[in-house]
Amino acid sequence: MGAQLTDPAEFTELESAAMTAALNAAREGFRGANPLVGAAILTDDGTIVTGHHGGAGTPHAEVDVITTAHDLGIDLSTATLLVTLEPCSHQGRTGPCTEAIRAAGIPSVIFASPDPNPLASGGGEILAEAGLTVRSGLHLEDSRALNARWLRAMNDARPFVTVKIAQSLDGAVAAADGTSQWITSQESRSHAHEIRSRVDAILVGTGTALSDDPRLNARGSDGMELEHQPRPVVLGTTELPAESFLALNPDTLQLRTHDVGEAVDRLYTEGVRHLLVEGGPRILAAFFTAGIVDEVFCYQAPLLLGQGRDSVDGLDIGTLTDALHLSLDDTEVPAVSRLGPDVLLHFVTAT
């Protein structure tokens, strides 16, 4: 007996509503190395409770919603678990969700989309063979759309790429004389450090490394370095000054190439699954041109710099019809939000 791909017409309105709630819960997570996943428990009396995966090392959506249901005293012996992605069947930082579902005594599972990761797939089959009623395909396209960029990165065997841009209202990342600290506010810089704390590596070009002498570390609200630190990566062939912070950091990886495709391939072999690209302008253009930008955080400061340096420099676009299109994204934070005096814009790129 295997997991059953079910005709959407065979799902009830309550099951559809519960999966919609799970999809909404998934958006409370973070984009990156892992997919956005949400889950819902649907009881016989129509009660719906939700959970979501909060990022690497945190409970998966199924475990999160089961924990919530237990806290609320919900009887799971007649409930249905709905999840936006097939329950995992492998041991990673957390245990297999298939075992958590079986241990909870849940008799029925519906998942929207099969897991394309060969290391984690097959959970539906395992649950069906254990005697649970397993169906799939409810809001399948919505689930795929939610994680379209993650799916593309995984299929391409490369890191998920987040780009950070901190710019003036007229699109400059530095004044004409090169000064750039600080265009954006402390609130924006704090948020950027939250993103740094979640990624595996941060990449800059040798131009940024030479002009700014950055540490590329992740700091908390108290200004202290966090326990988890991303790996600093420098793209380019120019030697770093021996006394620079990045040269003195033994974890710094210098990729002596200008080919971003070659760079991300190397980073993937090094175990990087979520890469944050922080510039400069030509590096950003190279990543956009290569089509390997998945997510953009743009910190927009309320100032004008006139003849400053463009935030993205080198895109070969001569007409409006060739523009690269982005879509506002409301996962993690509202698609448009305030950070002190700045405006934060959160985008995903078109697939």
**Catalytic residue IDs:** 62
Burial (0-12, 13-18, 19+ Cβ within 10 Å), 160: buried
Helix 61-71 vs helix 97-104: angle between axes, to the nearest 10 degrees?
A: 20
Whether the Cβ atoms of residue 108 and residue 79 lie closer than 8 Å to each other? yes
Phi and psi, residue 247, nearest 5°: -65, -35
Work out the end-to-end distance of the chain between its first and last CA atoms, rounded to an integer number of angstroms. Answer: 35
Q: What number of H helices and E strands is found in the chain?
A: 11, 17
207 conformational bin, left if phi > 0, alpha if psi -120 to 50, beta if neither:
alpha
- Alpha helices (H) in the chain, listed in sequence order: 13-26, 61-71, 97-104, 123-129, 140-146, 148-155, 186-196, 206-212, 245-248, 260-269, 281-290
CA gap 104, 106 in Å, rounded: 6
- Tell me which residue has tokens 């099969």: 114
Q: Which two tokens stand for residue 104?
A: 């909870």
